Structure 1
């Protein structure tokens, strides 16, 4: 089962923004592509995937954010808005912390908010709704 963290950001994520957020997640991690370029994986030094980051998608219908993530999150989303989803293994606290550091870094750089799939037990609180 995965643990999802969504960064809803106000500017389209560029390469520099993604790289900065990945370095903030963990400077010693390896990067591997997947899904024909639609997914980036951050892996430990042994190559074990810790975090999968999906390609950013522009939010065209604001009501979808409310339907999927709730009214509180939709009220904080920037306009325009890009959705960037990071998935970590729920059973791995290190991966969950990586997901939060990545999403927080992206939201800090590009403006926006962060939503997570469960109460945040690790890392910094402040950007998003913890459901």
Structure 2
């Protein structure tokens, strides 16, 4: 059985500092914790009770003009930085706090880099 996720992507105009953005959300929800996944370019954020709240993938530089619009199905009216750093994070749909944490992470990320976000809703 696969879990349904809320996905949000930070499209960063400058190279992102994932550590600073993760640090900005750790005080939420009564104190979150974060750890990396050995052998994978992934950071996971956990609620104090141990449940997974958010998974954040390593930033990827997208150099091809128009590629982000194509991948997201966005029109030319969306002003995507070029080149752009793509940072994708996923939160479990059934967790009531997860979307809030995911949006706060992406907001903190973009506050440091400029750019815009896209989400699955």
Higher helix share: 1
Gaps (5+ residues) in structure 1?
119-131
By relative contact order (CA 8 Å, sep 6+), the higher-ranking structure is 2
Q: Which moved more, 1:25-34 or 1:72-81?
A: 72-81
Q: 4+ runs of 1 displaced by more than 3 Å? A: none
Gaps (5+ residues) in structure 2?
none
Aligned positions, number: 115
TM-score by length of structure 2 reads 0.84
Q: CA deviation at 1:43?
A: 0.4
Where does residue 7 of structure 1 map in the other structure? 10
The reply on whether 1:80 has 2:83 as its aligned counterpart is yes
TM-score by length of structure 1 reads 0.78
Q: Which protein has the larger Cα radius of gyration, Structure 1 or Structure 2?
A: 2
**CA root-mean-square deviation:** 1.8
1:74 and 1:34 mapped to 2: Cα distance?
37
